[in-house]
Amino acid sequence: MNDFFKEIFAYHSKLNRETILYFQEHETAITPQMRRLFCHMLNAHQLWNARILNTPAFSVFQLHEPEKYPELERHNTELSLNILQTYPLSDLINYQDTQGNEFENSIKEILFHIGNHHMHHRGQLMTMLRDAGLEPLIIDYIYVSRKPRQSS
């Protein structure tokens, strides 16, 4: 299971880095709404890591300067991978949501949610890019993970 999550976080990290590069290459076409959504993706990842580690978290809608994106992305991924190596996936985490309601989920459920959350908003972001007349990134997992066929 840990290997699966390592692959998932490598996939999301790769796409986040590609998105950051894409934003740099198309800087004048990237809207504030697109930047807000990408910041939200980074913030939510950091927030869930912080809930697991019981450390301070960003606000889910905190804005960051674009030059901070690479470091935030790297740090989020490193922390998630560290969590995978340090804690059993079955450990239960007690936390409060942004409205103060108390919940409990396993680390496995939280890590799975981080990946789903990235994918959900990445799809929205690609739609925004297309609506702005830009060619979106290819974000399908199978496309990113494809390997050439081995000859017999």
- In the chain, where the domains are located: 2-145
DSSP string, the chain: -HHHHHHHHHHHHHHHHHHHHHHHHTGGG--HHHHHHHHHHHHHHHHHHHHHHT-----TT----GGGHHHHHHHHHHHHHHHHHHS-TT-EEEEE-TTS-EEEEEHHHHHHHHHHHHHHHHHHHHHHHHHTTPPPPP--HHHHH--PPPP-
Write the CA distances from 92 to 48, 98, 106, 110, integer angstroms. 13, 19, 4, 10
Annotated binding site: 40, 117, 121
Q: What is the pLDDT of residue 151?
A: 78
Whether residue 71 has pLDDT greater than 80: yes
Q: What is the pTM of this model?
A: 0.94
Annotated binding site for a divalent metal cation: 40, 117, 121
For the domain made up of 2-145, give the CATH fold: Four Helix Bundle (Hemerythrin (Met), subunit A) (1.20.120)
Taking only the tens place, the pLDDT of each residue in 83-135 is 999 999 999 999 999 899 999 999 999 999 999 999 999 999 999 999 999 99
Q: What is the pLDDT of residue 14?
A: 97
* Of 1-10, 65-74, 85-94, the least confident: 1-10
One-letter amino acid for residue 6 of the chain? K
